[in-house]
Structures are given as structure tokens and as C-alpha cells.
Amino acid sequence: MATTNQNIQISLKLFTELFLYFNAPVDFRTAEQEKQITDEINERYERWYNHNVFTQYRQSETDDDRLKFLREYLDRTGVPEDFRVLLRSDQPTGSSTQENRPD
């Protein structure tokens, strides 16, 4: 995904962990610290990436692109197929389901 000079905020906790890790002598660095920092950075990256996919979904000009990005976003965030009513081709995409019910 192409980006241009974006800033990403990180928590004070992660900043402190990074600061202490890289400013400590190499002998004092632990594998546990490295794993914790890596996990937090990966989690932050996933949130950033999901946000960008959602933004692409919202800003897509064609329905095909919009549907592609929406599916990717729902897959990445773990939304089950059962809840994806609007993505099913056999379901009407109109307003509420009450309008489609017989009296």
C-alpha cells in the first residue's frame, strides 16, 4: 500500500519500551523485550493497515472496488460470513427488512 509521509501515533508505553531497549547496552536487552516490542509494533501496523483498507473502501469510485475493499476489511477484522448480509448477491440491498415482510 503506497503511503506518503504519514505519521503514526504510538502509545507512551511502546515509546518508552523502544527508548529503553535501544538506549540500553546490548548486554541488557532481552528476547522478552524484543518480542513484546515486536508484537506491539505489529499490532499497531495491523490497525493502521485496516484503517487504510477501510478508507479505500469509503473513497472508492466504483462499486467493484468498494466491494473488494469492504470484503478485505471484513476478512481482516474477523467478521463472520453470516453477518455479511449486504455482500450476498441473493439479498436485497434496500433499507430495513421490515419493508420486505408481508403483513
- The amino acid occupying position 20 is L
| Cα Rg, the chain, nearest whole Å | 21
For helices 31-59 and 63-77, what crossing angle results, to 10°?
150
Q: Of 69, 47, 49, 50, whose CA–CA distance to 58 is shortest? A: 69
pLDDT tens string 14-67: 999 999 999 989 888 899 999 999 999 999 999 999 999 999 999 999 999 999
For helices 31-59 and 12-23, what crossing angle results, to 10°?
140
Q: Specify the 3-state DSSP secondary structure of 99.
A: helix
| Cell numbers found for residue 90 | 441473493
Q: What is the pLDDT of residue 6?
A: 79
